[in-house]
Amino acid sequence: DGASTPRAIGRLPSDVVNRVAAGEVIHRPSNALKELVENSLDAGAKSIAVTTREGGNKLLRVQDDGHGVRIEDLPLLCERHATSKIEKFEDLARCESFGFRGEALASMSYVAHVSATTMAAGATHATRATYTDGKMDAEGAKPIAGVLGTTISVENLFYNVVTRRKALKSASEEYSKVLEVLQRYAALRTDVAFTCRKHGESRATLHTPVAQSRVERLQAIYGPTVARDLKKLDFDSELSKKKFDFKLQVDGLVSGGNYHSKKTTFILFINSRLVECAPLKRACESVYAAILPKAEKPFVFMHLRLPFEDVDVNVHPTKQEVHFLHQEAIVELIQSKLEKILLATNSSRTFTVQT
């Protein structure tokens, strides 16, 4: 004896495979929110309103005034790998919209109850449909009163995945993550109005009308203490070093020496995508650490534009950490510009440069 008899290999049913895969894309309400907001922005929305119940654990609803979905496309809305944004692999490289995988809504429908109400220009009424496991439910799409745009509701997240449901944090923790994601998109898209509210509360937590400037927008989001002391970190660069060339455009606002905070806020977009880049964050923090008293932490908003072909967007959906070409050189350049800007505004006596 010793070795036991092997067990038969069987194919898992596709809904099980998809549910497992979905749980890897969507961990918590804020992941779903990011996808929904990106879809609304892709649809050209100028106004995005988010409503939650229990921090998004029970309900996450995103209403937009974008171009809507054609009625005949509703059956495909939550189908895996169904998208209106690219048609062939080569399109990926030039893809400027957020979505490109046709994966987000499908994933949500495998781990939550998804419903959509939508109305496109020219339609006489809105249409509503509900979805389970990638498919539109049997009762089909129904006419309903509505306005132009799309509302997607995601309810009872992980109703069918106990382990994931148990891993969800408290309503207040999930809500603060949801809010943080929305605040960041609001920081970028000053041309779009955002609101975020808890269901049943009359006062919105976030309310930002269309803004004239980013400073004005940041004030609406983060309050006057942030907005009061922001410096521009704006430059275009075309560098030719020995081994490579790169093009880079930076549009940023960073706190100066009169800003007081115990924690770093580092908001980074690359080509309009919300991403993380640990080396860049560390580099910026080190500049501040050399200038600010120890306990003070900076506020940094930065939007980098790089040639599309230099940024790897074809990464796993949840991988927020981004990769781009010439990263080291770019980080170094931004760091030195930041240093110059902070030292130039150093007339204020609160700066104490350590040498």
Where does this chain bind ligand ADP (CB under 6 A)? 35, 39-40, 43, 64, 66-69, 77, 83-85, 99-106, 150
Q: In terms of CB distance, is 31 or 57 closer to Mg ion? A: 31
177 binds, among ligand ADP, Mg ion, none (CB under 5 to 8 A by kind): none
Query: Which tokens hold the place of 286?
Result: 């080190």
Using CB under 5 A as the binding rule, whether residue 99 contacts Mg ion is answered as yes
Task: Using the minimum distance from each CB to ligand ADP, give the nearer residue, 47 or 261.
Answer: 47
The minimum distance between CB 120 and ligand ADP, in angstroms, equals 8
Indicate which of ligand ADP, Mg ion, none lies near residue 29 (CB less than 5 to 8 Å, by partner kind).
none
Name the minimum Å distance from CB 149 to ligand ADP. 7
Q: Among ligand ADP, Mg ion, none, what binds residue 102 when CB lies within 5 to 8 Å by partner kind?
A: ligand ADP
Partner touching 23 among ligand ADP, Mg ion, none, CB below 5 to 8 Å by kind: none
CA 61 to chain centre: 15
Rounded to a whole number of angstroms, the minimum distance from the CB of residue 102 to ligand ADP is 4
Phi, psi of 123, deg, nearest 5: -75, 150
Q: Which does 55 bind (CB under 5 to 8 A by kind): ligand ADP, Mg ion, none?
A: none
Closest CB 42 distance from Mg ion, rounded Å? 7
Does residue 220 touch Mg ion according to CB under 5 A? no
Among positions 33-92, residues that touch Mg ion (CB under 5 A) are 39
* Least distance CB 125 / Mg ion (angstroms): 25
Q: Which is nearer to ligand ADP, 38 or 54 (CB)?
A: 38
Q: Give whole-number Cα distances, 82 to 85, 101, 210, 249, in Å.
A: 9, 8, 32, 33
User: Of 228, 339, 99, 192, whose CA–CA distance to 184 is shortest?
Assistant: 192
Q: Is 183 in the site for Mg ion (CB under 5 A)?
A: no
Site string for Mg ion, 245-284 (x = CB under 5 A): ----------------------------------------
CB of 77 to ligand ADP, least distance (A): 5
Q: Which residue has the tokens 């040639």?
A: 307
Cβ-closest residue to ligand ADP?
A: 99
Q: What is the smallest separation between the CB atom of 273 and Mg ion, expressed in angstroms?
A: 12
Return the residue nearest Mg ion (CB atom). Answer: 99
Task: Identify what 85 binds: Mg ion, ligand ADP, none; CB under 5 to 8 Å per kind.
Answer: ligand ADP
- SS3 of the chain: the string is CCCCCCCCCCCCCHHHHHHHHHHHHCCCHHHHHHHHHHHHHHCCCCEEEEEEEHHHCCEEEEEECCCCCCHHHHHHCCCCCCCCCCCCCCHHHHCCCCCCCCCHHHHHHHHCEEEEEEECCCCCCEEEEEEECCEECCCCCEEECCCCEEEEEEECCCCCCHHHHHHCCCHHHHHHHHHHHHHHHHHHCCCCEEEEEECCCCCCCEEECCCCCHHHHHHHHHCHHHHCCEEEEEEEEEEECCCCEEEEEEEEEEECCCCCCCCCEEEEEECCEEEECHHHHHHHHHHHHHHCCCCCCCEEEEEEECCHHHECCCCCCCCCECCECCHHHHHHHHHHHHHHHHHHCCCCCCCCCCC
What is the nearest approach in angstroms of ligand ADP to the Cβ of residue 128? 14
Q: Smaller CB distance to ligand ADP: residue 39 or 219?
A: 39
Contacts to Mg ion by CB under 5 A:
39, 99, 104
